[in-house]
Amino acid sequence: MIDLHSHSLLSDGVLIPSELIRRADKEGITILAITDHVDPSNIEQVVPRTVEACKSANAYWNIQAIPGAEITHAPIELIPALVKKCRELGAQLVVAHGETIVEPVPEGTNRAAIDAGVDILAHPGLISSDEAKLAGAKGVFLELSGRKGHAYCNGHVAALAKQMGAKLVFNSDAHAPGDFCSSDLARKMIQGAGVGEVEKVFQNSKELVERLIR
């Protein structure tokens, strides 16, 4: 199981990064990305600390930890610079907090994040056809979310991704140990979103990881 969206107490999770990684390992996750929320106020503190935590875990444990960041509730005008800054600070994976219907994310965030070339647009809510098409063209993966609330639009996201040629990944968006999804639950949630080729979604995660570590 690959999970490319999780949070430690470096943002709004409840565990320090090393414990989050250990808990994921015990849940059967083989590759975990830590993607704490960042904006201009904390990016220079969060990303380097995430990089260090993942480096330590990878040196001693079997699970592969990927340092990332989730650009969250930022002004859309700042998103390109924040994506660049994340990568400069060592984030291997850059996620954008999409326009979920359960939070007041600035309108236009989905499009700005796709244009800026994030790796994953997380829980993109009622994403438009044009945005899904652009994501497919730019190689931005759209997320099916395992998190309550964000998951409400999984069916819409899956349908548009299929129609417009965008690739899907499934992530837990875990903030606490009990938030991780087993592979069985993930499969059921993907099926519940109307996706016929469930294994293709898992393969997309593998493809993205291979792209990140090249």
- What pLDDT digit, counting tens, does each position of 52-101 carry? 999 999 999 999 999 999 999 999 999 999 999 999 999 999 999 999 99
What does the angle CA 9 – CA 13 – CA 15 come to, to the nearest 5 degrees? Answer: 60
Taking the C-alpha atoms of residue 7 and residue 72, their distance in angstroms, rounded to an integer, is 12
Taking the C-alpha atoms of residue 193 and residue 160, their distance in angstroms, rounded to an integer, is 11
Pick the CATH number of 2-212 from 3.40.50.720, 3.40.50.11860, 3.20.20.140, 3.30.70.2860: 3.20.20.140
Q: In the numeric block, which tokens belong to residue 177?
A: 């140990």
> What crossing angle do the helices spanning 109-116 and 129-138 adopt, rounded to 10°?
10
Residue 213 reports pLDDT greater than 90: no
- What pLDDT digit, counting tens, does each position of 149-183 carry? 999 999 999 999 999 999 999 999 999 999 999 99
Residue 214 reports pLDDT greater than 80: no
Q: Dihedrals φ, ψ of 33, to 5°?
A: -100, 130
3-state secondary structure of 104: coil
| pLDDT score for 73 | 98
Domain ranges of the chain: 2-212
Cβ-contact 31, 60 below 8 angstroms: no
